[in-house]
Copies of this chain bind each other. A is one copy, B any other.
Amino acid sequence: MTTIVAVDIGGTHMRAASYSQDDIKPIKYQRIRTLASEPGGFERLIDVIEAVLPQGEPVAGIGIGSPGPLDPHTGYLLAPPNNPQFHNFPLGEKLSKHFGAQTFLDNDANLAGLAEYRYGAGKEHSNVLYLTISTGVGGGVILADKLLQGHHGLAAELGHIIVDPNGPLCPCGFAGHLEAYSSGPAIAKYVLGELESGTKSVLKRDVNLSAKEIAEAAGQGDELAIKAYQRAGEYLGIGVATMLHSFDPSIVIFGGGVSQVGSLLFDSFHVSLKKRVFHPRYLEDLVITTAQLGDDAGLLGARALAEMKLGL
């Protein structure tokens, strides 16, 4: 039996699972706190992996997902946010040495896209565009049945495509990125700016205002809240038009918390996309849908990466 181990290093939890090749369900599963600010992060990672190792079975490969930036070609974590222990950290090599197995690393958005392609909403498709919209905006792209990684492993950073060169600053420090319009914090920032300018709303000026509270206010008919999501959807349509012209996928899959608000975001997205796509053939038989795998996407993507790289 061929066993694959998958690892997902998240901001709050590290999770691991072992899989046999024929079953989507894990043989064993373990989850522990990441505790990024406490020393011993690598040792905790070893522990959570050891807890899922199959007894007496060799491991064919270990797939690992982590927030980027990272280098999938060398297995280095470069600067994962809020996890300074893993800055410039040769994670792939260290895990290979410890477990005597090949390791394969990529960022969480790429792997969620790969999981949806292999096991979820995209499994009938060869050209998949996955976008996660939550605290940030991330992308994962499969082209002709291959995960797009790029020369430095930094392809498909689709939250950082420029949708308006004179637009607001993205958390990354650069102007006019899609993430600066359509992420949860970007929606909240827009509302706070409008409140400051005197726009009336049931929402209060509170630096902790969340996209979820704004969605609730929109549900109660608050005009500013509705407009904030409409604007996010409009720019999302502009960004996705550029992505269709670049990648020409047969499916666009939306994941992440913000994408769960439904028509509040997607009505204006669809109008904007249709207005911006320059040739109707891009939209012929194009499927636009939401992710199917939820929290499992990271682990399943890490597993899929290892399987694909091993040719399984």
Q: Report which A residues bind B (CB closer than 8 A).
A: 69, 78, 126-127, 143-144, 146, 148-158, 160-166, 170, 172-174, 177, 235, 238, 241-243, 245-250, 276, 278-279, 281-282, 284, 286
Contact = CB atoms under 8 A, between A and B. Distances in A.
Contact of A150 (B127, B157, B241, B284): B127
B276 A174 contact: yes
A79 to B, nearest CB: 9
B281 A154 contact: yes
A246 B247 CA distance: 9
Contact of A146 (B146, B153, B154, B165): B146
Residue in A156, A172, A242, A247 with the greatest tally of chain B CB atoms within 10 Å: A242
A245 B157 contact: yes
A245 B163 contact: no
A246 B154 CA distance: 8
Contacts of A177: 278
Contact of A154 (B69, B149, B150, B282): B282
B249 A282 contact: no
Nearest to A246: B246
